[in-house]
Amino acid sequence: MDTNINILCLMLSVIFLCLSLESHVSFGADTISVNQSLSGFEPTSQEDWNQQVYSGGCVRKSKLECENAVGNGREDQFVENPRIGFPTNPQHASTANSIMECKLTCLKNCSCSAYAYDINNGCLIWIRDLLNLQQLGEDDDEVKTLHIRLAYYEFSSTAKSKKKKLTIVAVAVSSGLFLLGLMMFIIKRRWRRTIIPTNPTEGSLMAFGMTNFRGQR
């Protein structure tokens, strides 16, 4: 029984680990840190970044849809990056009076790399390079969200990667639950065998008594 209990505890540990991984699967965009580029971008020089020299910045991994000569009906997408210190040299789009209008204003301009909207500042857009991006701390009172333009391919590949992770977690959890159920069934079966009465039945006692009686005659 001790061996069965140890196996059961091991199975429970595996299941709890899988559930923990599932709860920590991230569905948000990558944020900026000192040694981490934006989602959809990569270091201009990986060698410089390995030496903690970040002055070269980052470049896009994939070409924007609006830069393609042949239209395929797909549009570039925007990914939210919360708690970002706005880049330098923004342009104010006075005609955009809502976040949706601000997004469309940026989307119509292929050179527009990002946009942000709030009630106080209205619609801000950034053309081409995003300079001096900064990650704000958790204790920063000024919450800012920058919407950065990404190629359609980058957006779709990110979704596929998330779906793959969820599939792996779902399979792991299902397998753990199946093995747990199987182990519980085996333990229950063995436990039932151990509590079967070892005393002979009443019929056996009567048969045994009659045999002895006849033998004595």
CB atoms within 10 A of CB 96: 20
Domain borders along the chain are 11-162
144 contacts 115 by C-beta, under 8 angstroms: no
Angle between helices 2-23 and 152-194 (to 10 degrees): 160
Pairing of strands 77-82, 145-150: antiparallel
- Over residues 16-39, the pLDDT tens digits come to 444 443 333 332 333 333 445 567
- Over residues 97-134, the pLDDT tens digits come to 999 999 999 999 999 999 999 888 899 999 988 887 77
Strand-by-strand arrangement of the 77-82 sheet: 77-82, 145-150, 112-118, 122-127, 91-92
Mean confidence (pLDDT) of the chain: 69
